[in-house]
Amino acid sequence: MTAVADDPRTTAVEQGRTAAGSPTLLGKRSIAKMGVAAAALAIGLFLLPAITSTFWVKNLTSAAILAIVAGATGMLYGRVGLVALGQMALYGLSTWITLRLSFATDLPFPALVLIAAVITTIFGVILGLPALRLSGIYLSLITLMSAAGFLVILSEAKFPNGGPGFKGLVQEVTNRSEMRRPDIAIGDFAYYRYVVIAMVLTYLLALIHVVGKPGRAWASIKQSEAAALAAGINTTTYKLWAWALASFMTGIAGGLLAGHVKSPSVFPFIVEQNIILIAVVVMGGVVSLWGGIISGLLAAVLPELFQKIGVSDRWSLILFGVGLTVNLLITSHQLDKAGIRE
């Protein structure tokens, strides 16, 4: 990816030229990176399911889904300098929409996920349009407040379970329907592969943006919004673009989660999860999209790993807290660039 864009000595204009120039994209380094990515994908798709149990495959599915949300959050943080603390609300919203559509229609699974992602994007943009007038700490706070407010609504509304009406709720246990999965991925192993491919596709979508014109505009905005404005970049449009893309990615993740857990609870979307998400995103790294995958693994697999070795999964919270603190202290130069400068 655009390694040059991370060098503070490089100006926004220079970054644009380098990122746009094909030698960087098709150079030896890029080819090596693509090779590593292909190898990682092959291991993820074929080797891991072959050597692990259903339990771990389910956890890896959760990790791949969370990696999409983490990738979106990391992209906003690392590429545009926007710290969103409410991504889990959009994630929950998309899960709710997917479930509701699944029970109300006979649409195929990919269509459900895509429609949910588009509706989530629209919601994200509606929220983002006024919120993006804010930045730094205020943007983080408004997103966190939105997420906390959404959680209250979600806790009362609950997730649809096949019932009638707008909420789609039915009280009787026997009448409950189950969220369907795609025909080609009914089993847990097949669904895992399905989710990994979906994750790769969303990451490719993000990558296309990062190495293209929007990515160069985002890099400029991150370095200095005032300078970007002076250079003629429509900062509002590009920030909203990034916001919409992150919402879309999160929407895809929400749809995939609905197919994964089938009857979700509110727990994955509680306020605490937003904080954990930002902690693992910072720990995984916000500069590279690979950080999103590490973040997903940390958030979904680490607590289960703790339990497997007889340690309380609650220790993962401490680890995330320590990881966030240490990363903030050590990688100051990277994170300061990610935040809006004073």
204 SS3 class: helix
Considering only residues 19, 68, 75, 144, which one is a binding residue for another protein as defined by CB under 8 A? Answer: 144
Return the closest-CA partner of residue 86 out of 69, 99, 62.
69
| CB nearer another protein, residue 281 or residue 294 | 281
Q: How far apart are CA 32 and CA 200, in angstroms?
A: 18
Which of these segments, 10-18, 54-62, 163-171, 314-322, binds another protein (CB under 8 A)? 314-322
| CB nearer another protein, residue 23 or residue 130 | 130
Please, what is the Cα angle at 65 between 314 and 133, to 5 degrees?
90
Considering only residues 36, 104, 153, 184, which one is a binding residue for another protein as defined by CB under 8 A? Answer: 153
> Smallest distance, Å, CB 195 to another protein?
27
> Is 309 an interacting residue with respect to another protein (CB under 8 A)?
no
> Smallest distance, Å, CB 12 to another protein?
19
Considering only residues 19, 66, 80, 83, which one is a binding residue for another protein as defined by CB under 8 A? Answer: 83
**b/e string for 44-63 if b means 16 or more Cβ within 10 A?**
beeebbeeeeeebbbbbbbb
> Is 314 an interacting residue with respect to another protein (CB under 8 A)?
yes
> Is 332 an interacting residue with respect to another protein (CB under 8 A)?
yes
Q: How many residues bind another protein (CB under 8 A)?
A: 50
| CB nearer another protein, residue 48 or residue 157 | 157
Type of residue at 322? V
| CB nearer another protein, residue 67 or residue 147 | 147
Contact status, residue 71 vs residue 252, Cβ threshold 8 Å: no
End-to-end CA distance of the chain: 28
Q: How far apart are CA 260 and CA 114, in angstroms?
A: 16
| CB nearer another protein, residue 101 or residue 297 | 297
Considering only residues 5, 282, 299, 302, which one is a binding residue for another protein as defined by CB under 8 A? Answer: 282
> Is 105 an interacting residue with respect to another protein (CB under 8 A)?
no
* Subset of 194-253 contacting another protein (CB under 8 A): 225
Which residue pairs, CB below 8 angstroms and at least 24 apart, start in 143-150?
A: 143/84, 143/85, 143/86, 143/87, 144/85, 144/86, 144/271, 144/274, 145/86, 146/86, 146/89, 147/85, 147/86, 147/87, 147/88, 147/89, 147/271, 147/274, 148/271, 150/86, 150/89, 150/92, 150/93, 150/269
> Smallest distance, Å, CB 342 to another protein?
4
| CB nearer another protein, residue 19 or residue 221 | 221
Query: For the chain, how long is the longest CA-to-CA vector?
Result: 64
Q: How far apart are CA 101 and CA 114, in angstroms?
A: 11
Q: How far apart are CA 335 and CA 340, in angstroms?
A: 10
> Is 36 an interacting residue with respect to another protein (CB under 8 A)?
no
Which of these segments, 26-34, 140-148, 185-193, 291-299, binds another protein (CB under 8 A)? 140-148
> Is 272 an interacting residue with respect to another protein (CB under 8 A)?
yes
Footprint of another protein (CB under 8 A): 83, 130-131, 133-138, 140-142, 144-146, 148-149, 152-153, 156, 225, 271-272, 275-276, 278-279, 282, 312, 314-325, 328-329, 332, 335-336, 339-342
